[in-house]
């Protein structure tokens, strides 16, 4: 990504500023040792700072689609990083350096972003504008004097070029397959076994420990509690948990309808007694 910005800058300056002149374009650190070796007119674009542009950070996720327009994955939005270049001109006379800096400034002021035709590689594939600024005041946390002091060189006239570059590298989150007509079956009524040709054979996606769709599991048996002993002669207690509607035994001599006792047994709650003793008179 950074080398693609370097190539775009080199191509732009050679085509619109230098115009075939015998002037080199380099990206070296302008140290005292390097300056002593310069023996030809040179334009130096030294990358001295890289930091994220927090004002352009976005939230959320971006969808990725296949050829049919179906969402297949999601990614985080691109993040923008500011590349700061220190542009200097190196010639034998200061007047020539000033003239060269003036040409560079006039060329870069004519663009608010790197020209799309100069972009290559991933910057061209993304299709997002690459904005840039030239000769703006530096941030409060640094000054150009500090940069030159760190380089150990002599202070020279320079241009500060800042390019905001999008970076798309981020985690990729795959999505599940789309739900079709055969993805969900809902039936009402008594449970019937799956037909042999439609019986599932694969476990639930992402849930290897759960049973297959439509399979039966072993029923859980809950033992009934021991019945409570009631004293003979006690009146039957009828309430929200002991009344006939909760499965009480029918009175002696009463004919139980078919299936009533079985339904009462199924509704019986564990731990409660449903035995009622009837006091018969002589």
Question: Is the model's pLDDT at 236 over the cut of 70?
Answer: no
More confident residue, 211 or 88: 88
Given this model, what pLDDT does residue 56 score? Answer: 79
Closest CA to 63 of 179, 172, 167, 166: 172
Helix axes 94-109, 2-13, angle to 10 degrees: 110
Where is 147: in which H helix or E strand? helix 144-151
Bigger pLDDT: 105 or 226? 105
- Would the pLDDT of 181 be above 70? no
Cβ(199)–Cβ(214) below 8 Å: yes
The reported pTM is: 0.58
Mapped to the 3 state alphabet, what secondary structure does 25-86 carry?
Answer: EECCCCCHHHHHHCCCCEEEEEEEEEEECHHHCCCCCEEEECCCCCEEEEECCCEEEEEEEE
| Strand duo 159-167 + 71-75: pairing | unpaired
Sheet holding 24-26, edge to edge: 24-26, 42-52, 79-90, 159-167, 132-134
The answer to whether 46 touches 90, Cβ cutoff 8 Å, is no
Task: Please tell me the predicted confidence (pLDDT) of residue 69.
Answer: 79
Kindly tell me if the per-residue pLDDT of 238 is higher than 50: no
Mean pLDDT of 8-26: 91
Q: Of the ranges 4-13, 73-82, 235-244, 261-270, which is most confident? A: 4-13
**Pairing verdict, β 172-174 and 71-75:** antiparallel
Q: What is the mean pLDDT of the chain?
A: 75
Report which of residues 234 and 33 the model is more confident about. Answer: 33
pLDDT over 70, % of the chain: 62
């Amino acid at each position: 990504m950074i080398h693609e910005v370097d190539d775009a800058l080199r191509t732009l300056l050679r085509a619109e500023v230098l115009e075939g002149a015998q002037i080199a374009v380099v990206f070296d650190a302008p140290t005292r040792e390097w300056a002593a070796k310069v023996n030809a007119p040179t334009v130096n674009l030294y990358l001295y700072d890289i930091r994220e542009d927090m004002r352009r950070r976005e939230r959320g996720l971006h969808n990725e689609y296949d050829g049919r327009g179906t969402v297949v994955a999601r990614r985080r939005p691109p993040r923008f990083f500011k590349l700061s270049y220190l542009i200097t001109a190196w010639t034998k006379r200061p007047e020539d350096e000033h003239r060269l800096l003036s040409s560079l400034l006039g060329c870069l002021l004519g663009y608010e972003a790197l020209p799309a035709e100069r972009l290559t590689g991933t910057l061209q594939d993304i299709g997002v504008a690459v904005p840039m600024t030239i000769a703006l005041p530096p941030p409060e946390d640094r000054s150009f004097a500090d940069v030159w002091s760190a380089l150990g060189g002599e202070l020279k006239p320079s241009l500060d070029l800042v390019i905001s570059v999008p970076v798309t590298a981020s985690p990729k989150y795959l999505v599940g397959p789309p739900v079709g007509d055969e993805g969900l079956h809902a039936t009402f009524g008594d449970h019937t076994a799956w037909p042999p040709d439609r019986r599932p054979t694969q476990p639930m996606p992402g849930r290897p420990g759960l049973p297959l769709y439509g399979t039966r599991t072993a029923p859980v048996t809950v033992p009934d509690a021991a019945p409570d002993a009631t004293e003979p002669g006690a009146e039957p207690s009828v309430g929200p948990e002991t009344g006939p509607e909760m499965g009480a035994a029918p009175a002696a001599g009463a004919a139980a309808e078919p299936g009533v006792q079985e339904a009462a047994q199924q509704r019986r709650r564990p731990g409660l007694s449903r035995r009622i003793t009837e006091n018969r008179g002589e």
